[in-house]
Structures are given as structure tokens and as C-alpha cells.
Amino acid sequence: MNFLRRLIGVIFALTIAFGAGLIFLPLAVVADPVTRAAAFVFIQMALSDLNPDIAPGEESGGLDLLGDLAWAVVVTVSAMPVTVVGLIGELARVRTFYWYAGGTAVVAAASPWLIRLGLNLPRAGQYNSAELRFALVFFFGGLLSGSVYWLLAGRRAGLYLR
């Protein structure tokens, strides 16, 4: 029964931590002038590539691709880091704030390069100044998500195993 209670608590904490990251990231991107400009240019390019001749009811083409890309970014930057760090911390019975906040922040900041590396893309180790600004925003988003998770569930990690 203790395990089930702990599992429900971890799922609840992960959900709230995702939400905190999802609220923080768009606000942080809009607040920083470099990331705001880069995001608006990306959105303009994506919208200009959409086909305006698509009739209602037909496949929307580029709009579906844009939605899929947005979903992939949300999962990669907001959900995946706190889930991975939270589950490792739970299994290893780590209760320190630094593990959850710092680990989630580092994984979130490194996630674009980890994806490039996993897909064997040629620019896996390269970066530019705008990417570094986004990495900083992702770092702070991960810091917030990890802190929320630690506050709700990480302080009692591994206690159900006793």
C-alpha cells in the first residue's frame, strides 16, 4: 500500500512539475529579446511554408507538422528531463535538492544536443549564440521543474522501500 501511495505521489509531482515548466518556458522565451526574436523568426518561417490552398477537411500538411514539432519540443525540454532525473532519483533513493534541480536543469539544457547526437546529425557538437540563449532558458526551466518535483516528491524519495 505504501508503494501505491508513493507511486501516485510521484505521478502527481511529475504532472505539477511539467506544468511549471510549461508555464515558465514560453514566458522566459518572450522575456529574453534574443530568444523572442529567434522564436518569432522560426514561427514566421514555419507559417510561410504552410500551403494556403488547403481546403477545410483535407489534410492540413504543414500545420500538423508544426504541431508535432511543438509537441516534441514540449516533451523534450519540459517533460523528459524531470521524468528521467526523478525516476533515477527515486530508484537510487536520492533526496537532495541539488540532484533534482541541478540534474533536471542540466538535462533540459543539453537536450537539443543530445537529440542531435542521438540522430547522428552533423552539427551535434556545434552551437551558435541563439542556441546558447535557448539552452540558458531551458536550464532555468529545468531548474524550476526539478525544484517543484523535489518539493512535492523528491524529499521523500525511496522511503517506501524501507
Say if 120 falls within a structural domain. yes
- The residue-averaged pLDDT of 96-101 equals 91
Which comes out higher in pLDDT, residue 127 or 12?
A: 12
Compute CA 26 distance to the chain's CA centroid, rounded to the nearest angstrom. 11
pLDDT value at residue 117: 76
The CA-atom distances, in angstroms, between 109 and each of 22, 58, 131 are 15, 38, 10
Instruction: Give per-residue pLDDT as tens, 151-160.
Output: 998 776 656 5
Confidence band (pLDDT; 50, 70, 90) for 17?
Answer: very high
Name the pTM for this structure.
Answer: 0.80
Distance in angstroms (rounded) separating the CA atoms of residues 124 and 102: 23
Which domain covers residue 129, as residue numbers?
2-46+62-161
Counted domains in the chain: 1
Say if 55 falls within a structural domain. no
Distance in angstroms (rounded) separating the CA atoms of residues 21 and 78: 6
Say if 57 falls within a structural domain. no
- The residue-averaged pLDDT of 86-115 equals 88
Distance in angstroms (rounded) separating the CA atoms of residues 90 and 87: 5
Map residue 120 onto helix, strand or coil: coil
Exposed/middle/buried for residue 56 (C-beta within 10 Å: 0-12, 13-18, 19+) = exposed
Distance in angstroms (rounded) separating the CA atoms of residues 83 and 68: 20
Say if 54 falls within a structural domain. no
Say if 90 falls within a structural domain. yes
Instruction: Give per-residue pLDDT as tens, 48-97.
Output: 666 555 445 555 556 666 677 777 777 888 889 999 998 898 888 888 89
Residue count (the chain): 162
**What is the residue-averaged pLDDT of the chain?**
80
Say if 94 falls within a structural domain. yes
